[in-house]
Amino acid sequence: MSFDYDLFVIGGGSGGVRAARVAAGEAGAKMALAEADRYGGTCVIRGCVPKKLMVFASEFSALPAEAAAYGWDMSMGAFDWSKFSGHLNSELDRLEEIYRSLLKNSGVETFDARARLKDAHTVELSTGQTVTAKHILVATGGRPVRPDIPNAHLGIVSDDIFRLPKLPKSVLIIGGGYIACEFACILNGLGVEVTQYYRGAQILRGFDDEARGLIAESMREAGINLHLGTNIIEMASASADTTASTGGTGSDAAMGASARASGDLVEPAGKPGGPVWVKATNGSERVFDAVLFATGRDPNTDDMGLEEIGVQLGRRGEIAVDAYSQTSVPSIYAIGDVTNRVNLTPVAIREGMVFVETVFKANPTPVDHDLIPSAVFTQPELGTVGLSEEDAREQEPVEIYCTSFRPMRTAFAGQPDRVLMKLVVSKASRKVLGCHIVAPGAGEMIQLAGVAVKMGATKEDFDRTVAVHPTMSEEIVTMRTPMRVA
């Protein structure tokens, strides 16, 4: 059977673009790609890149106080959101154009259209055009979701943060994962009054307990009003009467009975971005300028025709794939967040690379999801690779090497900041099973530590490494005595 293309990729994010470029450029495949929104996907347009730029922006607010201890007389003016967001949007436009150019220069034909599957080899575009391909790769990523509660439409999600016309004076963040915690730190650094509700006992579930405990403590010290074991049970558009009765947006005053009974609060006609009245499980009632839901993400598989042609989906709509990213329909593959395996941009890129190895280079290569370094860009950052102490001790006896201290830079400035360096070591093999760092620049550190852990380095390999002094990271190779055995 003759096909229009060797491969058709649905989705112009990091994973899809990399797979398309490599298949066309290195394997000589006849390629096409469809993207319904902006090229670069979540990472470049609505996630990693703009978020990290916001992290950089938010860190400047702490510099004058620190500089004063070092003899500098600095003053900080007001943060200009409009100036920053304008520059940010220009940068995202530049990056999107780079993605388009990379595809064009690799010989990939692109369609600015939504695609859905008609059968195992046929793609139907929103333009009305139909094309065929020997292989189809779905790389449509995921999207943030709002909780299933009345008036959830009044809240914003992470995608909306980058499009705000102005910063709110107060914000309530719902959630305790890395997206919630990162934006709590970002907005706090930009001068927003931040309250965070998380229904669990501690933020950053799934990460090392000691590390996430230090981050929670640091967030509170920075002024974030973090409430654990707390969730939202009711929300409504805040009317003028409501605002007055609570003392204005951001007030902790209780809402008056007349305001609670007002029509605006029962059937609100408000728009996302607040002000919003919120009632919590701890009994508090308050009005916030904005409510940000960071309560999870779902794969983008709606109305793609997947189940109709036999592609198996999971409970959250994720595409079920095998170790080679192949779906239940042999000609269709899927990579990235749409599979809900490990939802990180570098993982999607790696999955795209091994897909090309498997399908176009006759080198069947399974996806390796073991020992993936990652970072959470809170303030301070968390860098992690391998097993947490809790997970490791369930598998085998381990030794824990750990130190927490005030780093030289901020200690000199009289600030309370603390950092954490931690190694989880197998008692039997002496391999380092996990490395966890909470510190400024932890993301940079963990990338290099990840190489050693991936190679199977032992604690003695770390011990033989000469320290770089004076640095925070030297503690990783100078810890000689285990803090505890588990």
Which candidate, 408, 332, 358, places its Cα nearest to that of 22?
358
String of DSSP letters for 368-402: --SS--EEE-SSSEEEEEE--HHHHHHHS-EEEEE
Q: Are 274 and 290 in contact (CB under 8 A)?
A: yes
Q: How far is CA 284 from the centre of its chain?
A: 29
Active site residues per annotation: 469
304: which DSSP letter? S
Phi, psi of 30 (to 5 degrees): -80, 115
d(CA 161, CA 185): 14
Q: Is 69 helix (H, G, I), strand (E, B) or coil?
A: helix
d(CA 283, CA 429): 51
Helices (H) and strands (E) in the chain, counts: 17, 23
d(CA 294, CA 19): 29
E strands along 46-148, which residues? 109-111, 115-119, 122-125, 130-138, 142-144
Residue 21, CA distances (Å) to 32, 99, 326, 358 in order:
10, 10, 19, 15
String of DSSP letters for 213-253: HHHHHHHHHTT-EEEES--EEEEEE--HHHHHHTTSTT--S
Q: Are 25 and 153 in contact (CB under 8 A)?
A: no
Q: Residue 193: CB partners within 8 Å, gap ≥ 6?
A: 169, 170, 171, 225, 250
Q: How far is CA 197 from the centre of its chain?
A: 18
Residue 413: exposure state from Cβ atoms within 10 A (0-12, 13-18, ≥19): middle
